[in-house]
Amino acid sequence: MNRFRLKNLPLSRQILILFMLLTSVLGIGVGIVFPLAVKQYLVNNTYQLLEQEFYTLSDHISFNEHNELLPVPAAAPYFLQVLLSRYQYSFDMIVYSADGVPLGSRITERISYKDEAALYRLASSYNRGQVQHGTLERGGEDYLFVSKLMDYHGFPYYLVLFSKERELNQIGALLTRQFLLIFVVLLASSWLLAVWFSRYLSKPLRSLDESCQKIAKRQFDTPLTLDREDEIGQLARSFESMKHQLKDHDESQRRFVQNISHELKTPIMAIQGYTQGLLEGVFQGPQAEKGLQIIMQESKRLEKVVGQLLYLTKIESVSEMMQMGRVDLTELFHLLEQRLSVLNPEIAWDMALPDHLILEGDGEQLSTAFVNILENQLRYAESRLAVTASEGQDKAVITIANDGPPIEEALLPHLFQRFRKGKSGKHGLGLAIARAVFEAHGGSISVRNEPDGPSFTITLPLKR
C-alpha cells in the first residue's frame, strides 16, 4: 500500500494543509505561552502597583499615644479603582510592631492568624533598608506582598501591603479567554481565506493542465488567456508561446512530408517512366541514350536531396559530434570567393573583412553553411554581393547582402524552414542546413529586406 505523501495531493490541498498545520502549531504555542506571559506580566505590575501604593500609604500612617494605628484613607487613584473594579482586584494592608504584634489593618477579606504571622516572618526576614518584594505560598491562598521597616517619630513598625494571587489568576484567565476567543475567530477567518487562496492559485494551473491535454491531442486552436502579471501569468505566457511553436512545428512537419513527397516523387516517376520505356523498347537509338541521361540526372538529383536531408538531420541531432577547431573566417571567405565567383562572373564581390577573425568551430560545416548562403545570394544578385564581418562582445557578426529583388514578406518568417524556397530556389534545404549549422555552434541567422536588397545577418560566438 502506498504511503501518504503530501506532494501527491492537489496543490490547493497542499497549501491548505500546510497553512492549517502552521496556524495550529502557532495557536498551540500561543495558547501555552500567552497565559504564562500574562501571569508574569500581572505579577510584575502587581509588585509595581503595591510599591506605589506602599509609598502613598506610608505618608498617611500615624499612631496615637498608645501606639495604636489610626484610620488610613483609601489612597488608590480613582482611575485605578475604575480599571480594577470589574476584576475584583484589591490591595490589603497590615501594620506590625517591630516584635510582630499586629497594630492595625485594612483588609477586604479576612485572613487567618497563621497567614498574618507568616507575612510578618517573611517581611522581617528581608533587608530593612528598602522596600522588599516577596511571595507567601500557602496551600489555600498565595500572596504577593511588599514590606519595609518604617519609623514613626522613633517608633519602629512594619508596613506590609499584599494582594491575593487568586485575583491575579482570575484576571489572567479572563484575559486569556478573551484573547483565545479573538484568536479562534481570526484563525477560522484565516482558514477560510486559505481555502479561497488555494483555489485562487490552483485554478490557473488547472487551466494549464487542460490546455496541455488539448495540445497532447493536437488541438492548438484553444487560446489560453490569464490576466496575471505574477509567476503563474509568466508561466501561462510561456506555455502559450510553446503552444504556438508546437503548432508551427506540427505544420512544418506536415509541409515537410508533403514537400519531400513531391521532391522525391518527381525524380522517381521520371526514372520509372524512362526505365519502363527502355524495357519495352519504346526508346531506340538516340532516344534511348537520352533516356539514360535523364535517368542518370534524376538519380543524381534524388541522391542530392537525400544526402542533404541526411546531413540536415545529422546536424540537428548530433551537433555534439562536431570537430571543433580554430577557424579564420576572413581566410574562409577569401577561399569561398575564389571558389564561387566562377558561378556568376558578372557579380562583383565587395568584401569588408578584418585581417583575421578567428573563432572556435567546425570549419567544414561552417564552410558548407556559408556556401549555401552565398550560392543563394549569387542566384538572386543582379550586379553586387557584399560580405562584411566584425568582432565585438565575444562574438562575430557577419552580414551577407545582394542587390537583387526583395524576398516576399510572407516568406521571410519561414525562409529557413525545410523546403521553403523562392521562385528560383532549388530544393529548399540549403538555408535550413545553414541555420542548423549556425545554431549547432551556438549562433543564429536572420534575414531582412534592406533598401538595396536582401541582407542575411549571422552571429557566432568566438568561443564555445
What CATH number does residue 339 fall under? 3.30.565.10
Task: Kindly provide the b/e burial profile for residues 437-449, where b requires at least 16 CB atoms within 10 angstroms of the residue's own CB.
Answer: bbebbebebebee
Asked if residue 353 is part of any domain, the answer here is yes
Residues 124 and 52 in one domain: yes
Asked if residue 345 is part of any domain, the answer here is yes
Residues 17 and 130 in one domain: yes
Q: Check residues 125 and 229 and name the one with the higher pLDDT.
A: 125
Q: For residue 56, what is its C-alpha cell? A: 502613598
Cα end-to-end distance, the chain, whole Å: 51
pLDDT tens digits for range 346-404: 889 999 999 888 898 888 888 888 988 898 888 888 889 999 999 888 899 999 999 88
17 in Cβ contact with 25 (< 8 Å): no
Q: What is the mean pLDDT of residues 30-49?
A: 78
Asked if residue 87 is part of any domain, the answer here is yes
CATH number, domain of 256, equals 1.10.287.130
Average pLDDT of the chain is 77
Q: What is the mean pLDDT of residues 298-306?
A: 73
Residues 137 and 262 in one domain: no
Residues 312 and 328 in one domain: no
Asked if residue 270 is part of any domain, the answer here is yes
Residues 252 and 312 in one domain: yes
Residues 301 and 391 in one domain: no
Phi (first) and psi of residue 459, to 5 degrees: -120, 125
Task: Quote the CA–CA distance of 370 and 362 in Å, as a whole number.
Answer: 12
Kind and range of the H or E element at 458? Answer: strand 453-461
Residues 334 and 284 in one domain: no
Q: With a cut of 60, say whether residue 86 has pLDDT above it.
A: no
Domain boundary among 122, 146, 172: 172
Asked if residue 204 is part of any domain, the answer here is no
Residues 337 and 413 in one domain: yes
Residues 293 and 357 in one domain: no
Percent of the chain with pLDDT over 70: 80
Residues 267 and 164 in one domain: no
Q: What is the extent of the structural domain holding 285?
A: 231-317
Asked if residue 180 is part of any domain, the answer here is no
Residues 128 and 247 in one domain: no
Asked if residue 1 is part of any domain, the answer here is no
Q: How many domains does the chain have?
A: 3
Residues 49 and 117 in one domain: yes
pLDDT confidence tier of residue 246, bands split at 50, 70 and 90: confident
**Edge-to-edge strand list for the sheet holding 384-392:** 348-352, 384-392, 395-402, 453-461, 444-450
